Structure 1
């Protein structure tokens, strides 16, 4: 048996161990509680962003339907005239997206489609709408980018914005025979796909096989070409905006669900840790009472 002096010598070494375990448990519970509060705040934010995106979806779809009608009319003009650019013609690629994130792979879809087109025509010039696709395209096509625009996607795009962009492209002296506007085509509220809208220069349109069927004066023809470019760009911007709003709503819904699952797991972990601490404290109290 141990002497009384030996027991007294052992007691100070045991007491700090028990306090250390309890302190570590309390620190862990406090960290879980702080993380639980942080995740709860994130859930509130994502839920609010989902509601805001939901209110913008219907408005964006209505604008998209009207833009599609005008865009289809412009494409019908080139289709009926059988307009085609030569193989060695100058090509301009317009990547149409926005500045804002938290909307899934919207921007990556446009950047990847633009990259595939650049692999076919490496000498093509690139015009970028939006800071997000610009950052992605600069990694492999920095030398191809001639103009970039930002402050895109805050609200539903207007035809005046599209016309201003076309005027800026022309004022910068960007020449092209054929242009391809890369955008996200709206398929459904949960699906979109990268597509292109063709635009042709004045000389290429004049060289169309069926151009003689249209009795258009030269001064009117120049205005028609600019209008077709602005019209196609407006169509791409509005349809891309509708796809972005639907993707943002889906992304925020997934984020809210993930936050809810994390809150459930953290709550269970916190309750288990709290019960363990209470049980240890009860054992200490009962053990002390029994010793007395």
Structure 2
């Protein structure tokens, strides 16, 4: 007797093994492209982390020098018992033009908004595009002057002095100025603080100023110097905090990219194994059908 061999028939319109293979190949190609893209991103973030690590050390040295001069100048207010005079206030926000550093600029904006809510008659002077973009949405009417391109490299006293000079030339009237900046605590932490800078009137009315025997022209010069010096202090502290935050952000981004690469590699290997298995099944099925 002869054995009867039945050849399987494929219904018209049903999915063929070739279509399944094409879908698997397309999936493999998409995963491969994405894997390559994430790997390139990981290389970039790793390089940016190394650059930020180098800049943190330089920024810390600049910050430490600025901190000494800044705290020494503002110590006069405590010795003379200077108090804030009633009237308009100037808020100087020390941010930067660069991003990719976590929520460091958002912290400045939140602190400034709280201060404006408590002192609605205040005037804003903003250093840096990042804080400007966040504050002008709701507080455009408070902004009197802005500065871009400050401290592209390391902060310098000359830049801070020019910023203070432009603020004074703009004719902004204030009784008390407040400098808002991010105070560097460590490479993983910072605090957003405010430092007051008092006007000539407030200095002249200080109860214990007579002990210094300061004449009015010298006092006027000190007012201008204190404003520039405190702005320099804020920019230097903010730059160190920014570089440290950028280092942390790039480290986290590199870590996340590494985890994604592992998951994509596993998915790619599984899809590739499934494609090979399907091809073997098609070959065996075809051989049995002959």
TM-score range for the pair, normalised by the shorter chain length: over 0.9
Aligned to 2:77: 78
Look up the SS of the partner of 2:180 in the other structure: strand
Structure 1 residue 204, shift from structure 2 partner:
1.1
Task: Report deviation, 1:140.
Answer: 1.4
- TM-score, normalised to structure 1, is 0.94
The 8 Å contact of residues 106 and 131 in structure 2, kept in 1 or not, is answered as yes
Q: Report the equivalent of 1:91.
A: 89
Contact persistence 1:99–1:153 (CA under 8 A) = no
Equivalent residues of 2:7, 2:289 under 8 A apart: no
Deviations 1:258-291 (A, max 9, x none): 0000000000000000000000001111111222
Q: Distance in 2 between matches of 1:271 and 1:161?
A: 55
Aligned partner of 1:197 in structure 2 is 195
Which structure carries more helix by proportion? 1
Other-structure match for 2:252: 254
Following the alignment from structure 1 to structure 2, what is the Cα–Cα distance between the partners of residues 243 and 228? Answer: 22
Task: Specify every segment of 5 or more residues in structure 2 that has no aligned partner in the other structure, as ranges.
Answer: 1-5
Instruction: Tell me the residue number matched to 1:66.
Output: 65
Q: 1:196 is paired with a residue of what secondary structure? A: strand
Q: Are the equivalent residues in 2 in contact too, given 1:111–1:136 (CA < 8 A)?
A: yes
Matches of 1:154 and 1:264, distance apart in 2: 37
Aligned to 1:107: 105
Q: Confirm or deny: 8 A CA contact 2:151 2:159 kept in the other structure.
A: no
1:117 matched residue in structure 2: 115
SS in 2 for 1:11: coil
Whole-Å Cα distance in 2 between the matches of residues 20 and 159 of structure 1? 69
Q: TM-score, normalised by structure 2?
A: 0.95
Aligned to 1:29: 28
For residue 14 of structure 1, report the CA deviation from its aligned partner: 6.8
Unaligned segments of structure 1, at least 5 residues: 1-6
- Secondary structure in structure 2 of the residue aligned to 1:13: coil
Aligned residue in 2 for 1:4:
none
Query: What are the superposed Cα offsets for residues 35-58 of structure 1, whole Å, 9 maximum, x if unpaired?
Result: 000000000000000000000011
Q: CA RMSD in A?
A: 1.6
Distance in 2 between the 1:23 and 1:251 partners?
Answer: 40
Rounded to whole Å, the distance in 1 between the matches of 2:28 and 2:202 is 71
Conserved? CA contact 2:8–2:289, under 8 Å: no
Q: For residue 169 of structure 1, what is the aligned residue in structure 2? A: 167
1:156 matched residue in structure 2: 154
8 A contact 1:108–1:133 mirrored in 2: yes
Contact 1:97 1:153 (8 Å CA) reproduced? no
Distance 1:152 1:16 in 2: 63
Q: CA deviation at 1:18?
A: 2.0
Deviations 1:107-150 (A, max 9, x none): 00110000110011011001111000001101211100000111
1:223 aligned residue (221, 224, 239): 221
Say whether residues 1:39 and 2:49 are aligned partners: no
Q: Which of residues 160, 177, 180 in structure 2 aligns to 1:179? A: 177
